[in-house]
Amino acid sequence: MRFLVLVSFLLTTLGHMAHAQSDFYDINEIRNVRLYFQQPNWDALLDSLYVDGKEERIHASVVVDGVRFDSVGVRYKGFSSVSTERKKNPFNIKLDYVKNQSYQGYEKIKLSNVIQDPSFVREALSYEIARNYMEASKANFANVFINDTFWGVYTNVEAVNKQFLADRFSSKENALFKGNPEDLDLNGENSNLNNLYGLDSSRYYHLYDLKSDAGWGNLMTLMSVLNDSVELLEDILNMDQTLWMHAFNYTFVNYDSYIGYAQNYYLYQNDNGQFYPILWDLNQSFGSFRLTDASTFFRGFSVNEAQTVDPLTHLNSFSVHPRPLLRQLLSNDKYKRMYLAHIRTMVEEYMSNDLYYERATAIQQLIQNYVFLDENKFYTNADFTNNLEVTVKDLVEYPGIKDLMSGRQMYLQTYPGVAGHPLLDNEALIEVVPDSIDITVEVDLSTRVFLYYRSNKNNKFVLANMFDDGLHNDGSNNDNVYGVRISSSEIKDYYFYAENDSSGAFLPKRAAHNYFSVSSDMALVINEICASNGSIIADENGDFDDWVELYNTSGGTIDLTGFYLSDDFANLSKWPLPSIRIDPSGYALCWLDDEVEEGSMHANFKLSASGESLYLSNTQGEIIDEVTFGPQTTDKSYGRIANGIGGFVENTPTPNEENISSANAQNTLNYVLYPNPSENAVRLLFSHKTSGKIDIRNVNGSQVNRQANIANAWTWNYDVSEMVKGIYFLTVTTDGTVLTKKFIIN
């Protein structure tokens, strides 16, 4: 069976959505953090710990959004942003300092004092952008009070700790380092991963901060491979996350990082053996920090020069000190093309459409009133307002964000290797064959096409060549359709990469942070229900109860583990399906009788013969199929015609058998809307080729989309990434049918 690939964009930003309140780092919320010190000289105590270089803490209590925590530990955060001469210093608050306590699961609160950023938005905005492309912290703002005195507006940044690692990597005990030299040396190598001192780890203690219980041997191996055995690098370094980090730093001129003086990043080694670099300390992005040891600008560069900083500086010129994490990667032409493709994506998605500026403006509007009340901030109210557009000066110059990025966009979008890229068709296709999957994609302007795939999310992606030779289920020879066959046991997630001699491109564009999934989800459907069973079929106890028939439309076996049935939209996981398997084109009959004591096939709810909805969902809380029905006739069923794919009509029941055909049923409209809930996009899969119009309305009945017209379409996609969280209603209107379904944006 051949069908459009069912895309599951996994954004891996799950965390604490189960809480009734919004996430602690929700960018649309300003947090209130009230510190209470018993010591009248608390500031002098914190100053002395900082001066002595100690990471000890003093006791305090804190109230976070009205929730009180006693016996927390407080110290200053960072180094360069702290001064004993300042009133507004950054704070590191450890909630579980004395006893086990956390807020929404977070045990540590890191508050930055927004120094070196008159606009106040650089850090929170940068993290928001970065999270679209790589694993990075969440960030928002907090109003901080000390002993009930307003101390100012702070940036509230999620710590990179065991909780962060568990959320992003499903592991937390492996080697974790911070590229954080004890004393930043403007004439030294800092944390550049050069193996200058050989394999004696003790000679690197002052350059890298070990955050895990062990790991120095692992770091020495990484440095050895990076510098001396680069052909083995993919085994020990996640190349894609590394290239995204470099692309972000150069696109948004974040030089207080590896590309400047080799600092402010983490390295975590996942269970798959690869190190993942993680961005940190973004308060001087958008050109606020302009120092580097690259030869072209080894004395630093001006605001104007920041617009045209070469993203291949460390390759096209020389570095005063080695930058192996740049040079060793970008010397490889394929990695260089991938890197430039990532820059293109950021330019297209945030710069060409001025989205970075829209978001910066929205963030400023959110915090403006509080910033104006902040008497301890380092800049004037006028500086705060103006720095979105124009340069603000004190001892140094802080570029106007729009000024800088307008010039940066013009420079980058014409940079060699950014333009002239291959064009990949978004509608990739798969065909399920026995024990294998054939995958094809149409690509123009390309000479080489690759599929990257893995069997589960914790494994490394591996590469397979795709072919346009007419021999790989790819159509005709040289028709720009590329194909490859992969064993079905080896592929769960995948993405495409294509290149020509000058440029590369990914599908999806944000790969590998986003990727496609081969999933059985949409192959499993609700095929038939009976909500008024008088005499059709009895269960093993002789009862004529409500039932639902599930059907496997795919060519592979489906395990029902991880799927749920529910008649309650607010509780989609109401009844977990039993751990049984359905063969290709096979059925499973479940009794909806609220009699779970009768066996594993008996649900904990009944259907209403007067009409309601039934939902089939997966572990991620996505609705993969649903049916809404009105009053039911006794001993009639409501089933799909054609079997497995058609719309629902009243019929003679056929439990565990193909549904009876009807002359008019093929024209009965139905569609599946997925994923639901959604964060980035929703997709409709129609039961037959459909023409009509599509409207989306919010709970107030206001239309939120420009009405879409479809003609003879099987599918329809809509980007919801910029829509407000909440409940919406999507209506498809054809000549004879109006069908509305509810979905959620979260």
Question: What local confidence, expressed as pLDDT, does residue 17 receive?
Answer: 30
Residues in the chain, how many?
746
Closest CA to 295 of 337, 323, 254, 265: 323
Token pair 């994490």: residue: 325
In one-letter notation, the amino acid at residue 29 is E
pLDDT at 659: 83
The three-class DSSP label of residue 502 is: coil
Record the tokens describing residue 276, joined without a space.
């993942």
Question: Do residues 732 and 692 touch, judged by C-beta distance below 8 A?
Answer: yes
How far apart, in whole angstroms, are the C-alpha atoms of residue 232 and residue 237?
9
Q: Of all helices (H) and strands (E), which one includes residue 228?
A: helix 216-228
193 vs 531: CA distance, rounded Å: 66
Query: CB-side exposure of 515: number of CA atoms within 13 Å?
Result: 23
Compute the half-sphere exposure of residue 266: CA atoms within 13 Å on the CB side of its CA.
24
C-alpha span between 149 and 163 (Å, rounded): 31
Q: What is the full DSSP assignment across 291-357?
A: ---BGGGTT---HHHHTT--TTHHHHS-BSS--HHHHHHHTSHHHHHHHHHHHHHHIIIIITT-HHH
| CATH superfamily, domain at 671-746 | Macroglobulin (MG2) domain (2.60.40.1930)
What pTM was computed for the model?
A: 0.73
Whether 510 contacts 680, CB under 8 Å: no
Range(s) of the chain covered by CATH 2.60.40.1930: 671-746
Q: What is the mean pLDDT of each run of 10 residues along the chain (746 residues)?
A: 31 28 88 97 94 90 96 90 92 93 94 96 97 96 97 97 91 96 90 94 96 97 96 96 98 97 96 96 96 89 95 92 96 97 97 95 96 97 97 94 97 95 84 77 96 89 96 92 90 92 95 79 82 91 94 76 88 90 88 92 93 86 84 88 75 86 52 77 76 82 78 80 82 77 81
Predicted local distance difference test score (pLDDT) of residue 15: 27
Cβ-Cβ contacts under 8 Å for 581 (sequence gap 6 or more): 557, 558, 559, 560
Alpha carbon 231 to its chain's center: 29
Nearest-angstrom CA–CA distance, 28 and 32: 13
Question: Helices (H) and strands (E) in the chain — how many of each?
Answer: 14, 39
Determine the Cα–Cα distance for residues 85 and 384; give it in Å rounded to an integer: 22
User: Cβ contacts of residue 414 below 8 Å, gap of 6+?
Assistant: none
Judge whether 350 and 356 are in contact, CB under 8 Å: yes
What proportions of the chain, in percent to the nearest 5, are helix, strand and coil? 20, 30, 50
**Across 425-521, where does the E strand assignment appear?**
429-433, 436-444, 448-454, 462-465, 481-487, 493-499, 504-507, 516-517
Distance CA 219, CA 240 (A): 19
Q: Do 481 and 489 contact (CB within 8 A), yes or no?
A: no
Closest CA to 528 of 629, 666, 386, 408: 629
